[in-house]
Structure 1
Amino acid sequence: MRPVTAVPYLAGVCLAATTVVALDVGMEARPATVAWPSSGVVPSTSSSPPSAERSAPSVDTFRSGADLPAGPAFPEHGAGTWHVVPPSGKPGASGVTYAVEVEDGVVLPHGDDSFAAVVDHVLRHPRGWAGRHAFRRVGGDVEPELRIRLTSQRTARSLCGFELPYDTSCRIGSTVHLSTARWFRGAHTYGDDLRGYRVYAVNHEVGHFLGLGHEVCPEDGAPAPVMMQQTLSVDNDGLASITTGSDQGVVVVPDGKACTPNPWP
């Protein structure tokens, strides 16, 4: 969940990427190069949460939400290519054009439209970025300014980086990759509120596309900024501990401030 090189259009900070991923992998319909590190943390091939494969996490780790919660099975593998989910109805007249895409090989219980419906809801909601920016969904016949993709766990791990040993989503260039691991299971910080977490994930990554970087908890008991890395923690002590030694684009001071989960800007 660390920054990558900014892009010319609405340059911003990426939630997670390795230094080797400095190109926009989302603009061409070719297989993504999935490179696993020769050492370090490599995702499991099982559907068990990663925490089960390491030593039992502490209460603080669960409080931070860094480990993937237990829950239903999710698509771990994909083809490294994506297909556009066709929009229904007429597109808007103006706004940032975006396409909703699902990785080939990823099968959703209620179909691709269930993923697209959440993305559309978030980008059109007045509590979201729609209050400041207009968005217009397009199909495969238009080159979009933004791509929002549901990406399998293994592909997301490879593209978003191995610096932190947790499942995360990321924005690389003008492409948002939402990990299936998190889309299906959420984060400990959100508890049973999976829908709230999904709203947060879309808003956070699109925020990076709009040029915003990471933030920290500003005041004890306040709603967490949507640009805080809430997947990992909603308190500064936890976030500082988890991200020690990695460049996340923000200095986190362990000052005891703890926020509450908040999915909206």
Structure 2
Amino acid sequence: MKPVAAVPYLAGVCLAAATVVALDVGLEARPATVTWPPSGVVPATSAPAPSSQRGAPTVDSLRSGADLPAGPAFPEQGAGTWHVVPPPGSARASGIAYSVEVEDGVVLPHGDDSFAAVVDHVLRHPRGWAGRHAFRRVGGDVEPELRIRLTSQRTARSLCGFELPYDTSCRVGSTVHLSSARWFRGAHTYGEDLRGYRVYAVNHEVGHFLGLGHEVCPADGSPAPVMMQQTLSVDNDGLASITTGSDQGVAIVPDGKSCTPNPWP
């Protein structure tokens, strides 16, 4: 099964060996340009200054700040290459073929299978995209239609862009890059519900792969659409403030509507 054609709401630009290639990119904080691969290792990008250094926080930033939450250490730098996590048993006969991959140099406390287990759970759950699309996980011997990768913070910043100074995940063509920073720390919008945030991150970026663009909070108090940029905010006022001057592919009106975090389509 072939994925739905991606909505062309961003033309990313990749510069490599003096060749300009148009990229189809879907992500939470849209970059101005994407440069890949870098020469040597992925260049370090300084982390955003704490809110206290950027002026007094607003009510919105206190409730749904886009900064990376405090928490455990996470893989900041990987090798820029990925290895496939072998699937258990044989692949299903039909569906969108996807592989689960981890960047070389990224070490998870409970191993690569712990990452793969979350991805598999999300793509097979009836509340997710499985209600509309079939998925089958494949190994390195089969060319996947979709790659879902756990990517180190600095590699993710290089691939996804850092125009807005917040760590986000992204979908570049047929590859989803889930930032290790967010995978380990989550987002303020989800509080201590790290698993819920991980489910959201997978569903949001796979939604881009399926051709969906960003959405906003439709009604005050309603569950946030999974295609809302929930990493940044779950209310329209906060999202409009955070993304000022950066085209997100959707009109964000500060209308006072505030949603609740929701990881499922």
* Bin for the TM-score computed over the shorter chain: 0.7 to 0.9
Distance 1:57 1:79, change over 3 A: farther
Cα contact 2:25–2:172 (8 A) shared by 1: no
**Alignment correspondent of 2:10:** 4
Q: How far is the alpha carbon of 1:89 from its aligned partner?
A: 1.1
TM-score when normalising by structure 2: 0.86
Distance 1:76 1:54, change over 3 A: farther
Give the whole-Å Cα distance in 2 for the aligned partners of 1:166 and 1:12. 17
**Alignment correspondent of 1:96:** 96
Distance 1:248 1:237, change over 3 A: same
Q: How far is the alpha carbon of 1:51 from its aligned partner?
A: 2.6
1:195 is paired with a residue whose SS is helix
Cα contact 2:26–2:205 (8 A) shared by 1: no
**Alignment correspondent of 2:129:** 129
Give the whole-Å Cα distance in 2 for the aligned partners of 1:185 and 1:3. 28
1:102 is paired with a residue whose SS is strand
**Alignment correspondent of 2:251:** 251
**Alignment correspondent of 2:46:** 43
Q: How far is the alpha carbon of 1:61 from its aligned partner?
A: 1.5
Query: More strand by proportion, 1 or 2?
Result: 2
Give the whole-Å Cα distance in 2 for the aligned partners of 1:188 and 1:50. 16
1:147 is paired with a residue whose SS is strand
Q: How far is the alpha carbon of 1:119 from its aligned partner?
A: 0.2
5+ residue gaps, structure 1, are 26-30
Q: How far is the alpha carbon of 1:105 from its aligned partner?
A: 0.3
* Residues 34-76 of structure 1: per-residue CA shift (max 9 Å, x gap): 6659xxxx334xxxx8537844761421322301000000000
2:11 is paired with a residue whose SS is coil
Give the whole-Å Cα distance in 2 for the aligned partners of 1:170 and 1:206. 9
Q: How far is the alpha carbon of 1:3 from its aligned partner?
A: 5.1
**Alignment correspondent of 2:5:** none
Give the whole-Å Cα distance in 1 for the aligned partners of 2:51 and 2:220. 31
1:98 is paired with a residue whose SS is strand
Percent identity of paired positions between Structure 1 and Structure 2 = 79
Give the whole-Å Cα distance in 1 for the aligned partners of 2:215 and 2:80. 31
Which residue of 16, 24, 28 maps to 1:15?
Answer: 28
One-letter amino acid matched to 1:153:
Q
Distance 1:247 1:124, change over 3 A: same
TM-score when normalising by structure 1: 0.86
Give the whole-Å Cα distance in 1 for the aligned partners of 2:90 and 2:75. 31
**Alignment correspondent of 2:239:** 239
Cα contact 1:76–1:153 (8 A) shared by 2: yes
Cα contact 1:4–1:19 (8 A) shared by 2: no
Cα contact 1:51–1:57 (8 A) shared by 2: no
2:164 is paired with a residue whose SS is coil
Give the whole-Å Cα distance in 2 for the aligned partners of 1:245 and 1:96. 36
Give the whole-Å Cα distance in 1 for the aligned partners of 2:200 and 2:9. 18
Cα contact 2:230–2:261 (8 A) shared by 1: yes
**Structure 2 matches for 1:1-265, cutoff 5 A?**
4-5=10-11, 13-21=26-34, 36=43, 42-44=45-47, 51=50, 54-55=53-54, 58=57, 59-265=59-265
* Residues 69-119 of structure 1: per-residue CA shift (max 9 Å, x gap): 000000001000000000001111100000000000000000000000000
**Alignment correspondent of 2:21:** none
1:113 is paired with a residue whose SS is helix
Cα contact 1:91–1:138 (8 A) shared by 2: yes
Q: How far is the alpha carbon of 1:32 from its aligned partner?
A: 5.9
Q: How far is the alpha carbon of 1:13 from its aligned partner?
A: 3.7
Distance 1:205 1:179, change over 3 A: same
One-letter amino acid matched to 1:235:
D
Distance 1:65 1:52, change over 3 A: closer
One-letter amino acid matched to 1:194:
L
One-letter amino acid matched to 1:101:
E
Cα contact 2:27–2:168 (8 A) shared by 1: no
Give the whole-Å Cα distance in 2 for the aligned partners of 1:216 and 1:128. 19
Cα contact 1:12–1:212 (8 A) shared by 2: no
